[in-house]
Amino acid sequence: MSGETAERLPGLDAGRALAAIGVVFFHANNYFLPVVAIPGEDAGSFWRLGQHGVEFFFVLSGFLVLLRHRRGDRGEAVAAAFLLGRARRLLPLYWTVLACVALGIALAPAFGLHLGAGRLSAERLLASLVPLPGAEEPVLRVAWTLGREALFYMLFALVLLRPARFRPLFLGWMAASGLTVFMAPPAPLDAVLSPFDLCFGLGMLAALARERLPAGAAAPLATLGLAIVLAGAAGEMTGPGWGEAARVAIFGPGSALLVLVLAMARRVPRMLVALGRGSFAIYLVHGSALALVAPAARRLPGAAALPPAAMLALLTGTAVAAGMLVHRLVEGPLVAAARARPSGRAAPAETR
């Protein structure tokens, strides 16, 4: 593994930051602002675009996984280390947030109502411990994306285990996922086939293309990627919104081009790098933060006179700040402990 793949790429951290904050804006504007903070009011259709941070994150996962693992050893030890590394990076914080959310719902049902978490049961909580596609909706609703990531990781681990045997299976899964852009898969195949899965493949293609890019390719790629995203944004803002297949067909390729360009960037604002490194915590925590802040913001003096955009900024800023606080105080120590090895050496940098 080259030093470049081991280190964090600052441009990708900036992309993580913008994608995570976009998701917060989307949820705040579409759910918490009009339902809780200022009933019946939102800040406009522009903020719907934030939901497409999801496609960016899926593309980024495919890009980084292949960038790091395209070359190197294969076999049982490598596949096991890959899955263990992913679990150690993602599950400790996820379990911590899940436990806090479950406790909050049990102690304050209104919190669960604002969060849209639905009923809480022991069976559902157990099923939420490792979110998988096709299972009951997790207690922490944003964890549906982790289910799709988990499927991708498991299938990629098979390729690391026995490339000759399982690469055709992986490519077949990717091709079938591509077909779901044009036709919905029947049950029960819809659990393992989704248009969103195609984003992982687009990210992997971007990783392959990165090695062959000529000098000076960044500007035209950035222009093309932004043109695709802006065209999709125009359709989003002037219509009822894209369906799942259409949004992947538009924002998936656009995200892949932007990931390619961001991977080349070396000088980006430090604040974006810091926010990007806290993006996973922001993503997991923001719903809970909004569920707590929105009812309180509604009772602030003068809240009724606030324009929706100002209330949206307040909600989003508070949720992002809460995520960064969790990143510093909880996620950092958890990741450090999980990466520590008995020999005293730290594990290699992870891809997220």
Query: For 319-332, how does the pLDDT look when each residue is reduced to its tens digit (9 = 90+)?
Result: 999 999 999 999 99
In terms of pLDDT, which residue wins out, 103 or 217? 103
The pLDDT assigned to 279 comes to 97
299 CB-contact burial (10 Å; exposed 0-12 / middle 13-18 / buried 19+): exposed
How far apart (Å, rounded) are the C-alpha atoms in residues 339 and 86? 11
How far apart (Å, rounded) are the C-alpha atoms in residues 172 and 23? 31
Lowest mean pLDDT: which of 41-55, 149-163, 338-352? 338-352
What are the backbone dihedrals phi and psi of residue 340, each rounded to the nearest 5 degrees, phi first? -65, 140
Residues 6+ apart with CB under 8 A from 286: 20, 23, 24, 27, 319, 320, 322, 323
Closest CA to 122 of 134, 109, 110, 105: 105
For residue range 214-224, what is the model confidence (pLDDT) as tens digits? 877 878 888 89
| Confidence grade of residue 203 (pLDDT, cut at 50, 70, 90) | very high
Q: What is the rounded average pLDDT for all residues in the chain?
A: 89
The pLDDT assigned to 349 comes to 44
Residues 6+ apart with CB under 8 A from 235: 242, 250
Query: Cis bond leading into 269, ω under 30°?
Result: no
Reported as type and span, the H/E element at residue 51 is none
| Confidence grade of residue 337 (pLDDT, cut at 50, 70, 90) | confident
Show the tokens assigned to 234.
Answer: 């125009």
- C-alpha radius of gyration, the chain, whole number: 20
Show the tokens assigned to 213.
Answer: 């890019």
Residue 1 has pLDDT above 50, yes or no: no
The pLDDT assigned to 347 comes to 44
Give the CB-side neighbour count of residue 20, counting CA atoms within 13 A.
31
What are the residue boundaries of the structural domains of the chain, listed by start? Answer: 3-339
Residues 6+ apart with CB under 8 A from 129: 95, 98
| Confidence grade of residue 121 (pLDDT, cut at 50, 70, 90) | confident
303 CB-contact burial (10 Å; exposed 0-12 / middle 13-18 / buried 19+): middle
The pLDDT assigned to 341 comes to 59
The pLDDT assigned to 3 comes to 35
Concatenating the DSSP letter of every residue in 262-298 gives HHH-----HHHHHHHHTHHHHHHHHHHHHHHHHHHHH
For residue range 255-310, what is the model confidence (pLDDT) as tens digits? 999 999 999 888 899 999 999 999 999 999 999 999 999 999 999 988 878 999 99
| Confidence grade of residue 155 (pLDDT, cut at 50, 70, 90) | very high
How far apart (Å, rounded) are the C-alpha atoms in residues 255 and 15? 10
Residue 188 has pLDDT above 60, yes or no: yes
Highest mean pLDDT among 34-38, 72-76, 253-257: 253-257
In terms of pLDDT, which residue wins out, 33 or 134? 33
The pLDDT assigned to 136 comes to 80
In terms of pLDDT, which residue wins out, 2 or 350? 350
DSSP letter for 95, please. Answer: H
The pLDDT assigned to 286 comes to 97
Average of per-residue pLDDT across 201-230: 88
The pLDDT assigned to 352 comes to 59
Reported as type and span, the H/E element at residue 3 is helix 3-6
Beta-bridge partner residues of 340: 346
Residue 125's alpha-carbon distances to 32, 131, 135, 142, 330, in angstroms, are 24, 10, 12, 14, 21
The pLDDT assigned to 122 comes to 85
Average of per-residue pLDDT across 162-176: 96
The pLDDT assigned to 239 comes to 80
Neighbours of 168 (CB within 10 A): 11
Residues 6+ apart with CB under 8 A from 8: 277, 349
In terms of pLDDT, which residue wins out, 81 or 134? 81
